[in-house]
């Protein structure tokens, strides 16, 4: 069973790698969109610093969401979903494996570049660690929640707009606690409680989202 889990992760990573720039889209979107802000609102440090954390979080949210509609769509279109549905691995774990691979090629890369982008947004040095940590806890949650929407959208044409409507409201708690965790650390108020809540949301998503996703995948398999 763990071999099948690893096989899915390895395959999706390999597919991402062979698609080249295509799989870097979330990261590129994140970086380029963020780079527009100093140009749009002006380079004044106090303005950027004020909005920096929020902007980084909102863009991370959008970057993750934009890449989600292909999470199961490709497998559904070419019949691989049947294969996964008949495999040794329960669909709940299939969903988890797909999310893990997807996080490695999207969320994880966002975490890695986030300190750099925090500097671009003129955030103080003490914000760099917290923002990476917050994204590390938050982006897997975003992907797990989005995975439910992506599985429901299988077969829907032009599903990405619908996916946004479905998923973005569910992202609000992650956004609120993600931003306030970092700002709490920066202002010296401490963000421990918010980080714990982010962690709790991740654990809840890990426990629940695979079941909801698998139910949606079963509908798609009918």
Partner 1 sequence: MSDPLLSADGLACVRGGRLVFEGLSFALAPGEALLLRGPNGAGKSSLLRLLAGFLAPGAGALWWHGRPVLADAAEHRARLHLIGHSNAIKGALTVRENLRFAVAIAGAPATLLERALAGFELTALGDVPAAYLSAGQQRRLALARLLAASRPLWLLDEPDAGLDAANRAHLTRAVAAHRAAGGIAVIATHRDLGLAAPQVLELAA
Contacting residues toward partner 1, per CB under 8 A: 1, 3-4, 6-8, 11, 14-15, 18-19, 77-80, 82-90, 218, 221-222
Note whether 118 and 131 are within 8 A (CB).
Answer: yes
Note whether 121 and 150 are within 8 A (CB).
Answer: no
- Minimum distance of partner 1 from residue 14's CB (angstroms): 7
Q: Supply the DSSP symbol for 188.
A: T
C-beta closer to partner 1: residue 15 or 206: 15
Note whether 22 and 70 are within 8 A (CB).
Answer: no
- Minimum distance of partner 1 from residue 99's CB (angstroms): 17
C-beta closer to partner 1: residue 85 or 173: 85
C-beta closer to partner 1: residue 15 or 120: 15
Q: Give 20's contacts (C-beta < 8 A, 6+ positions apart).
A: none
C-beta closer to partner 1: residue 203 or 219: 219
Residue from 115, 109, 110, 103 nearest 52 by CA = 115
- Minimum distance of partner 1 from residue 31's CB (angstroms): 25
State the Cα–Cα distance between residues 137 and 202, nearest whole angstrom. Answer: 7
- Minimum distance of partner 1 from residue 93's CB (angstroms): 11
């Amino acid at each position: 069973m763990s071999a099948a889990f690893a096989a899915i992760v390895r395959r999706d990573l390999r597919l991402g790698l062979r698609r080249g720039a295509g799989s870097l889209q979330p990261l590129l979107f994140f970086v380029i969109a963020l780079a527009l802000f100093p140009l749009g609102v002006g380079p004044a440090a106090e303005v950027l610093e004020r909005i920096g954390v929020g902007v980084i979080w909102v863009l991370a949210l959008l970057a993750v969401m934009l890449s989600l509609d292909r999470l199961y769509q490709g497998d559904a279109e070419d019949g691989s979903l049947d294969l996964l549905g008949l495999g040794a691995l329960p669909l709940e774990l299939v969903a988890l494996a797909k999310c893990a691979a997807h996080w490695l090629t999207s969320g994880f890369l966002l975490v890695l570049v986030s300190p750099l982008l925090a500097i671009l947004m003129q955030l103080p040095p003490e914000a760099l660690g917290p923002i990476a940590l917050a994204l590390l806890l938050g982006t897997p949650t975003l992907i797990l929640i989005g995975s439910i929407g992506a599985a429901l959208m299988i077969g829907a044409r032009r599903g990405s707009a619908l996916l946004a409507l479905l998923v973005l409201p569910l992202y609000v708690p992650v956004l609120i606690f993600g931003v306030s965790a970092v700002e709490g650390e920066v202002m010296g108020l401490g963000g421990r409680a918010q980080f714990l809540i982010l962690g709790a949301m991740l654990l809840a998503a890990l426990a629940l989202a695979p079941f909801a996703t698998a139910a949606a995948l079963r509908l798609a398999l009918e």
